[in-house]
Amino acid sequence: MKTLIKNGTLVTASETFQADLLLADGRIALIGAGLSADGAQEVDAAGHYVLPGAIDVHTHLELPFGGTVSSDDFYSGHKAAAFGGTTFHIDFAMQAKGERLQQAVERWNKKAADKAVIDYGYHLGITDLNEAILNEIPEMGRAGIPSLKLFMAYKNNLQVDDTTLFRTMLKAAEHGLLVMVHAENGDAIDVLIQQARAAGHLTPEWHALTRPDWCEGEATGRAVALAAVAGAPLYVVHVTCAKAVEAIALGRAKGARVMGETCVQYFHFSVDNLRQPDGAKFVCSPPVRTAADQAALWEAVRNGSLQHISTDHCPFLFDGTRPIMYEGRPFQIPGKELGAGDFSKIPNGLPVIEDRMPILWSYGVGQGRISLNQLVALGCTNPAKIFGLYPQKGTLAVGSDADVVIWDPHKQKTWGVNASHQRTDYNLFEGWEITGLPVKVFRRGELLVDGDRWLGQAGTGKWTPRATHAPVL
């Protein structure tokens, strides 16, 4: 099947230009002016932008956590992603205690294979390191999973010690893998949580107050230092505050091979949202912070201190005692009500996978905070390069996968749960006005989204291997 996209304005990380685009056999076959192709279905993109499909490298679909499971699976999460202009994501295959890494991958394959619609990959979350696991790490890289995630927080659950972190970094450096860290000082946070609970401070705002920015800044600096000693590339996930940005910038200035991401929610929400009656909706880790931190994050993505804007999409129902309707069927699972009366028991995570690109378009590009080319770099091209996908994904180039989004810069919508395809009962951006939305979304040349119509089919998304020794941007 061939599709000819005519009269659009193509946008890459570095260029904006008028051209036609021919999609054939799942790839971009030609780019040029005045193209024609016998037998191709023509799509007129006049007045629209043509972008590479966005990439989200930080998601948690169908993740057991906090006494429940995140509410989007590999079908509903992919549907929501596609409606938001995202055509590839990387989820975290989390190792259980005593489990081999390959066993974690096999568990995630069972979740994904029959449900996936967009293409996807995995990071490996390491929680239980021993010699056998260390020796398995190079095998995972050769198998197309070249990124490892370690948690410096969630004491007595996911948190690893510095020995585990450093030994993993040494092995990764030797074999060209990327180490990712959730950078918060989990030991200090655990003490602060226990103190708060003992004092009767149980409302959602204490989730943020017991996870102060100093704990994130300290852990970020520690991870940067250990990576520099190990000679390993480091990627700090979901950066929320100026102190963490400063630690990354200092490391980069001193020659450390460190990069970082923030998430779209951290530009817009603060501890004040946790003080609302529905504050549990905004509970995630690290927490939303302050207006000053929001300004620091915008500056960091503008100046290149942070290289990607992801989502950390990990949705939970706000009220899991009541079913919601999804594709005509009731859906119910325990949610954030599990933490009613105790902030430490609120499942940590937010629904964002569909919101990311429309919100960044309207409130980033639309308000002059970032340029259109920067949006493509931060949302599409940089993550493809960092995570071993480029140029197969993340750009508009002959031979690249035909992951293409046609974007109407004038289309307007009032955002919110009723406009969302995320399988949850609330939206962080309820009532926000959006100008600029995807109107057609192609994955490997197949049309998944056509206006408000969903054409995707479960099981058609492909797990995609990625390369080791990816560049440090």
- pLDDT tens track for 244-270: 999 999 999 999 999 999 999 999 999
pLDDT at res. 281 = 98
In angstroms, rounded to a whole number, what is the distance separating the alpha carbons of residues 233 and 230?
9
- Cα 222 to Cα 124, 229, 251, 341, 346: the distances in Å are 21, 11, 10, 34, 28
In angstroms, rounded to a whole number, what is the distance separating the alpha carbons of residues 401 and 6?
18
Which residues of the chain are modeled with pLDDT < 70? none
In angstroms, rounded to a whole number, what is the distance separating the alpha carbons of residues 368 and 345?
39
pLDDT at res. 38 = 87
CA angle 252/257/258 to nearest 5° reads: 70
Exposure b/e, 183-206, CB count within 10 A at least 16 = b: bbbbebbbebbeebbeeeeebbbb
Examine residue 52 and say whether the peptide bond preceding it is cis (omega within 30 degrees of 0): no
Parallel, antiparallel or unpaired: strands 178-182 and 234-236: parallel
Structure tokens at 376: 């493509």
H-assigned helices in 66-100 = 76-83
What CATH number is given for 2-51+394-454 in this structure?
Answer: 2.30.40.10
In angstroms, rounded to a whole number, what is the distance separating the alpha carbons of residues 8 and 405?
11
pLDDT at res. 430 = 98
Give the DSSP H or E segment for 372. helix 372-376
Structure tokens at 193: 């949580």
Structure tokens at 178: 């990327």
pLDDT at res. 1 = 82
pLDDT at res. 201 = 98
C-beta of residue 400 within 8 angstroms of C-beta of residue 27 = yes
> So what's the architecture of 53-386 in CATH?
Alpha-Beta Barrel (3.20)
In angstroms, rounded to a whole number, what is the distance separating the alpha carbons of residues 385 and 341?
44
In angstroms, rounded to a whole number, what is the distance separating the alpha carbons of residues 88 and 404?
11
pLDDT at res. 305 = 97
In angstroms, rounded to a whole number, what is the distance separating the alpha carbons of residues 391 and 351?
29
Give the DSSP H or E segment for 214. helix 213-230
Domain assignments of the chain as residue spans, ordered by start = 2-51+394-454, 53-386
Structure tokens at 467: 């390369």
Q: Tens digits of per-residue pLDDT, 139-172?
A: 999 999 999 999 999 999 999 999 999 999 999 9
